[in-house]
Amino acid sequence: MSNAASSPLPLRPRIHVLATGGTIAGAHTGGAPGSYRSATLSIETLVGAVPQIAEMADLALEQVAQVGSQDMDDALWLELARRAGAALAPPGVAGLVITHGTDTMEETAYFLSLAVKTTKPMVLVGAMRPANAISADGPMNLYNAIAVACDPGATSQGALVVANDEIHHARAVSKTNTTQVGTFHSINQGLAGLVNQGRVHWFGPAGTQHTLASEFSADARSTLPRVEIVFAHAGMDRTLIDAAVAAGAEGIVIAGVGSGNLHALARTAAAEAAAKGICIVRASRTGGGMVERSVEVDDDRFGFVAAGDLNPQKARVLLKLALTRTHSPALIQEMFDRY
């Protein structure tokens, strides 16, 4: 005989949510069509708009910040990493979801993947349209992010990004479009998985070291080394590299043309900086492919590091963390090969 009516509700996983703002918490507040203010609504309001989430998970909600992700900085990254670690520490917590603006989500995700010590799911989620836009994408993205955080397949994957029914590894994902809901792409390595209305499908593990296998930590740090990105172009000279050195950069990422190339004038400035102990990493402005050592630029001669398939903004994240451990270009090159 069925006793369904008196059965207790099945135990739901406990998921911690850290909110930081972004367009997922944004609202059109009048004015020009399409204009809006990001980081306006509380996490309680966002979750309250998706009552189906309560059937899936028990949530603990924590508002860490309320910013557009263009305002993310080192202090907030360090704070977020510490809060993420603390939130995931209790044995009863199954996973973590972080709401975040999409502009710099890939950088925060990669930072957390390298700085938080956990095997538990850590899922970043945002939206391209504000919460009160026509066909807002935030509610389904949030629902799917919670589903991914509840899923055992998200264990030991490092940080993940969920949007537009897709699951991306932190290291692989990049924002590629200013407005479309399908803005995120994992360009070189492909998707971690798909999530359709809470149903999760996995395609493969993260290919590089992260979380427990990472040597980096946010603990006991209040700052990170200064690293600038210099964008290469036809007609480039040495001005911006010299400016970065003068500003006190410990590292410079070149968003190089093609496979991390830069004009001879800029290369001379970069080699002079490297000789002074400033770490020069060559990445590519193209958005895809590898920057390998010593193809057109003699990295051994100039003391440069090749970024592999990390885009310039992610190369900057890794270089900041790397410089907390060493200033040796050879050791930093190994880190770029490993993380």
- Footprint on this chain of ligand GLU (rule: CB under 6 A): 22-23, 38, 68-70, 101-103, 126-128
Residues in the chain: 339
CB contact at 8 A, 218 and 77: yes
- Across-strand partners of 130? none
Cβ atoms 20, 67 nearer than 8 A: yes
- In the numeric block, the tokens 């860490």 are attached to 64
Six-digit token pair at 272?
């002079």
Residue placing its CB nearer to ligand GLU in the complex, 72 or 310: 72
Q: How far apart are CA 75 and CA 67, in angstroms?
A: 13
CA dihedral 80, 83, 89, 93 (to 10 degrees): -90
Whole-angstrom distance between the N-terminal and C-terminal Cα of the chain? 56
Does residue 218 contact residue 246 with C-beta atoms inside 8 Å? no
Structure tokens at 239: 């001005």
CA 282, CA 316: separation in Å to the nearest integer?
Answer: 10
Nearer to ligand GLU, 118 or 183 (CB): 183
* Minimum gap (Å) between residue 23 Cβ and ligand GLU: 3
Min separation Cβ 130 and ligand GLU, Å: 8
- Report how far residue 227's alpha carbon sits from residue 339's, in angstroms, rounded to the nearest whole number: 18
Would you state the structure tokens that stand for residue 303, as one six-digit string? 């003391």
CA distance 146 to 89: 18
Minimum CB distance to ligand GLU, residue 287 (Å): 18
Nearer to ligand GLU (CB atom), residue 25 or residue 172? 25
Give the active site residue among 23, 104, 118, 208.
23
Shortest distance, CB of residue 86 to ligand GLU, whole angstroms?
A: 24
Least distance (Å) between residue 177 CB and ligand GLU: 11
Whether 20 is a known active-site residue: answer: no
- β-pair partners for 97: 17, 123
Shortest gap between Cβ of 61 and ligand GLU (angstroms)?
A: 19
Do 230 and 252 meet the contact criterion of CB atoms below 8 Å apart?
Answer: yes
Q: At its nearest, how many Å lie between ligand GLU and the CB of residue 267?
A: 33
Residue nearest to ligand GLU (CB): 101
Q: What are phi and psi of 75, to 5 degrees?
A: -60, -40
CA distances to 219, 238, 253, 292 from 272, rounded to whole Å, are 33, 11, 15, 21
Q: How far apart are CA 140 and CA 143, in angstroms?
A: 5
Q: Supply the residues annotated as catalytic.
A: 23
